[in-house]
Each structure stands twice: as C-alpha cells, then as structure tokens.
Amino acid sequence: MGYKKTVEEYYTGATPEVHASVFDILHTVTAALLKDSRRKFTYVEMKFFNMWYKDLDAKGKENVKKLIKNG
C-alpha cells in the first residue's frame, strides 16, 4: 500500500497519473458476486476492505455479510 499514491488516493482513485480506485473495484465485484453465486472472489487488503465497508449503507453491509456467509 502507498507505493505511488497514498492509501486514500488508491481507495478513491484521486490522482489521474496512476488510476486506481479500490472503492470502485469492490463495488463492481460485489455486484457481480450478487448476480452469480457461482463466482468467487478472494481479497487480502483488509485496510482497503475496512475503509470500503465503513462507507457502505445498511443494505450494502447486509449484502457483504450474505456473500461472506454463503462463500
């Protein structure tokens, strides 16, 4: 983490020279997993996951818990 950008910049995709948005990646993956239960996703960057999870609304958190429980 923090190789070319700060943790927050990677999370939000804030700087244009190195595009990366962990927030967008996790939202996209979650939507894909909810559409197809055969899909699997492994994620190890708990700092980013924690930041993202804290930003979710109640329904988003419920969906994540459902995916983890059924995973």
For residue 41, the model assigns a pLDDT of 92
pLDDT in tens, 19-35: 678 999 999 999 999 99
pLDDT in tens, 3-18: 777 888 888 887 766 6
Name the H helices within 4-57.
7-12, 22-35, 46-55
In a domain, 1, yes or no: no
d(CA 15, CA 43): 23
In a domain, 2, yes or no: no
Domain encompassing residue 64: 7-70
Identify whether the C-beta of residue 10 lies closer than 8 Å to the C-beta of residue 22: yes
Number of domains in the chain: 1
